[in-house]
Structure 1
Amino acid sequence: MTLAPYRRVLARPRARQILLLGLLLRIPIFGTGVLLTLHVVEHLGRSWKEAGLLSAMATLAIAISGPWRGRLIDRYGLRRVVAPSLFVTGAAWAVAPFVGYGMLMLLATVGGLFVIPIFTVARQGVIAAVPADERRTALSVDGVAVELAYMSGPAVAVWAGTQWGTAPTLLVVQMCAVAGGVVLWWLNPPMREEADVEAVEVPRSSWLRPRFVALCLTAAASTVVLVGSEVAVVAALREWGQETQLGLVFAAWGLGSIIGGIAYGAMSRGRSPYVLLAGLALVTAPMALAGSAFTVAALGLLAGLLCAPTITAGVEAVTRVVPTAARGEAMGWHGSCMTIGSAIGAPVAGLMIDSTGYRSAILVVALVGLLVALGGGAAALVARRERRPLELAA
């Protein structure tokens, strides 16, 4: 594996800029989720069920926000979308850590609706900053940044919350997000390639078609597999009395994803997201056979190798089937489907854990991923065969 593609991407100042901003702005997002849960249970003295309800409302708001704000970026540009986010989220989170449960739910929902759409912005910015032949590598770097934020955000937030309390920590975390948003607004990185800056608005019906829908379902299925298996692994470690090894397991899992993402970005040719999702499901299933933290960590390292490549391949495929002028909304839908998949994966796994145990939970979410991959791959094959006679006739 050669690192030359990464040197070319990171040699581009605009690419470095948006990749770093994407990393820094995602850390508060990942940290806020677990911090809110602790805040509701420990600071407000409410139940875990109530904490889960608040988390679900905030997650739903973020999922709704993605396509809506992505479409606004396509139409009005980055600054006119980020500016309202700074005011609304800044005001909401300046108050939210210090109010009761009901008002906190309202403010967290409003904050979710107006959250800076950093996943959409980062991916659009990265795509615009590099030529087409470097797109896979750049998106792989962005995928590694997501993994790093996912690993570090909750850990830093929980540590700070236990040291100084969840309320002040929530305030600081969100104000850091606002500060990062100010930097993003000031830098105003381009969201389209220079040749497409004047691209006209295209009707949604021209791209919101079965190929794009299949990619969104694949994105949702990938997070069903990932989040569902994570919940099952936590249950397994609790059953074994090895909760203290959670850090080891998730570190191995994350390391596998980073290695897989780097390797995928260095490849000269991409792979189908349906093939990668099927592979992810198949390498996740053996985790149901684990009997100790060290075994599940080793299997998690293996499963992690296909996490980042699956997501990267899906994002790259979206850029091929959606016009540049609609990319913001499309990325918003794609990201929202990943968020919805996360919201589905946890309760599905929880239901299976309560009824038949953690092993069946892992197998069920892996089966969901495999079935979606097979269905999406079959649909893509049919579409390709239908297009071929038209291309030959032309």
Structure 2
Amino acid sequence: MAGYREIVRTPGVLRIIAAQLAARFPNGMTSLAILLHIEQITGSYGAAGIVLAATSIGQALSGPVTTRLMGRFGMRQVLTVTTAICAAALLAMAFLIVPLAVYVVLGFIAGFATPPVLASARTIYPKLVTSRQLTTLYSLDASLQELIWIIAPVLITFTATQIGTTQGLLLVVAILISGGAWFILSPEVGRVRIPPSKRAFGKVLTRPPILLATIIGFLFIGSFAAVEASVVATFNHEGVESGVVLAVFSIGSLVGGFAFGHLPMGPWAMARRLSVVAVGLALASVWVNVWWISGWLFVAGIGIAPALAVGSAITTASVKFSDTAEAFGWTGTGQLIGAAVGSAVAGFLIDLTGGPTASYWAATALCALALVVAVLFVGYMPDLRERGAAPLPDTDVIRTVSP
């Protein structure tokens, strides 16, 4: 814990962590808010699912594009424009009564304009701490983000069901704008300039560690989405249990991040951390019982934040600073597609078998595949125990300006 205390005392670190968490808080609310609102308007979960799919497609497509644009126009400019467009699309969805096709378009726009806060923050981090401290900072970030997934779904569900779905979307917009403004106006966002990349768009994926981080993220996050669908299907008639079990899953990640996330990251770090998650998911699949599932999902959660921290560290360490934001855009896109695939596979298996058991095993299989990839290609994983996770040097001077 001493390493964490040292990091948060570094000027600017605590401020940028808090601001980016506030700006990303809507990520844990938007999907549920849209689902509940469109279902109320149309009376169809299928229609709501179509709008959500359009939103997810927009998010997946936007990641590499908006992050690449930050090197050309600057972080503040891109974040400001995307925040404004996303908020406008959600407001239109909240107040307009229109055909389903229009909601689909608005969902796509909101998804495509999702502000690239995560990529921005993780691009800034290397400029705030030393190379050796960077892996610990990524671990802290991965741990604290679990607060979003513990609090946000409960908050938006309560607001939408007890007050109204329109008010739920308005709450999302209010947090999107206020949290986004806090992050955008943070001195660190104005101080760091990303030099325009000299590489072709998408070229970062030719670097094996970036491609591995993208593939592993696709499988890893896909397994989480399958777990969420499985838990909801398990306790379909007792919503309280679903929320509690998923909260326990996130709490396990929070605990694991603080307890183990700071450990040195060698080539085998990803495989070791994924193995904890895979074992926990496998054992959770054995018995459909609230206490059994909660206990083993807590164990599985212990490896989540540490594994995500490794993914962030190897991404930063494998590209030049000018390519860092785009690299995080691609890994984020992989995770979003994985979430969509994981949910779809789990849903299909639940309908096909008439129960959640097969979908739990699907979640385990996806995580196990991520572990296999990490083991088979361990030779391409960078060793960060000595060099840290700092980006490769750019040939041009990286300018900083006063905010």
Per the alignment, residue 394 of structure 2 pairs with none
Q: Structure 1 residues 95, 8: CA separation in 2 closer, same or farther (over 3 Å shift)?
A: same
Q: Are the aligned partners of 1:5 and 1:137 in contact in 2 as well (CA < 8 Å)?
A: yes
> Which has the larger displacement, 140-149 or 85-94?
85-94
- Single out whichever of 178-187 and 223-232 deviates more from structure 2: 178-187
Choose from 337, 342, 345 the match for 2:339.
342
Structure 1 segments unaligned to the other structure (5+ residues): 385-394
Q: Work out the CA distance in 2 between the residues paired with 1:217 and 1:113.
A: 21
Structure 2 counterpart SS, 1:162? helix
Which residue is 1:113 aligned to?
112
Out of 233, 236, 241, the residue aligned to residue 235 of structure 1 is 233
The answer to whether the Cα contact below 8 Å between 1:252 and 1:300 also exists between their aligned partners in 2 is: yes
Q: Does 1:308 align with 2:305?
A: yes
Aligned-residue CA RMSD (Å): 2.2
**1:64-83 counterparts in 2 under 5 A?**
64-83=61-80
Name the residue aligned to 1:24: 22
Q: Give distance in 1, aligned partners of 2:299 and 2:52.
A: 30
Q: Relative to structure 1, is the Cα distance of residues 108 and 382 closer, same or farther in structure 2, using a 3 angstrom cutoff?
A: closer
**Residue 35 of structure 1 corresponds to which residue in structure 2?**
33
Output the CA distance in 2 between the equivalents of 1:233 and 1:58: 23
State which drifts further: 365-374 or 46-55.
365-374
Q: Which residue of 1 aligns with 2:289?
A: 292
Structure 2, gaps ≥5 residues long: 383-403
- Counterpart CA distance in 2 for 1:198 and 1:121 is 10
Asked whether the equivalents of residues 79 and 117 of structure 2 are also in contact (C-alpha less than 8 Å), the reply is no
How far did 1:268 drift? 4.2
Q: 1: distance between equivalents of 2:171 and 2:128? A: 31
User: Which amino acid letter does the alignment assign opposite residue 242 of structure 2?
Assistant: L
1:143-292 alignment, distance < 5 Å: 143-190=142-189, 201-204=197-200, 207-209=204-206, 210-238=208-236, 242-269=238-265, 272-292=269-289
Q: Which moved more, 1:294-303 or 1:263-272?
A: 263-272
Cα pair 1:218 1:277 within 8 Å, conserved: no
- Conservation of the 8 A alpha-carbon contact between 2:277 and 2:299: no
Q: Against the structure 1 CA distance between its residues 244 and 86, is the aligned structure 2 distance closer, same or farther, given a 3 Å change threshold?
A: closer
Q: What letter corresponds to residue 261 of structure 1 in structure 2?
A: G
**Aligned residue for 1:56?**
53
Identify the residue that residue 130 of structure 1 maps to in structure 2. Answer: 129
- Per-residue CA deviation, residues 21-51 of structure 1 (Å, 9 max, x unaligned), is 1211122121111111111112x03311111
Name which of structure 1's ranges 328-337 and 174-183 shifts more when overlaid on structure 2: 174-183
**Alignment partner, residue 395 of structure 2:** none
More helix by share: 1
Partner-residue secondary structure (3-state), 1:208 = helix
Distance 2:56 2:258 in 1: 29
| CA displacement at 1:383 relative to structure 2 | 8.3
**For residue 12 of structure 2, what is the aligned residue in structure 1?**
14
Deviation at 1:286, TM superposition (A): 1.1
Shift, 1:144, TM fit: 2.0
- Tell me how far apart the structure 1 counterparts of residues 190 and 286 of structure 2 sit (CA, whole Å): 45
Q: Would the aligned equivalents of 2:231 and 2:246 in 1 still touch at CA under 8 Å?
A: no
**In structure 2, C-alpha distance between the alignment counterparts of 1:227 and 1:19, rounded to whole Å:** 25
TM-aligned CA deviation for residue 237 of structure 1: 2.3
In structure 2, relative to structure 1, the CA distance for the partners of 1:89 and 1:6 (3 Å cut) is same
Deviations 1:308-352 (A, max 9, x none): 111111111111211111000000111111111111101101112
For 1:146, the aligned partner's letter is: Q
Give the conservation status (yes or no) of the 8 Å contact 1:128–1:190: no
Q: What is the letter of the counterpart of residue 108 of structure 1?
A: G
Following TM superposition, by how much is the alpha carbon of 1:199 offset from its aligned partner in structure 2, in angstroms?
5.2
| Structure 1 residue 175, shift from structure 2 partner | 2.8
Partner of 2:369: 371
Look up the equivalent residue of 2:322 and give its one-letter code: A
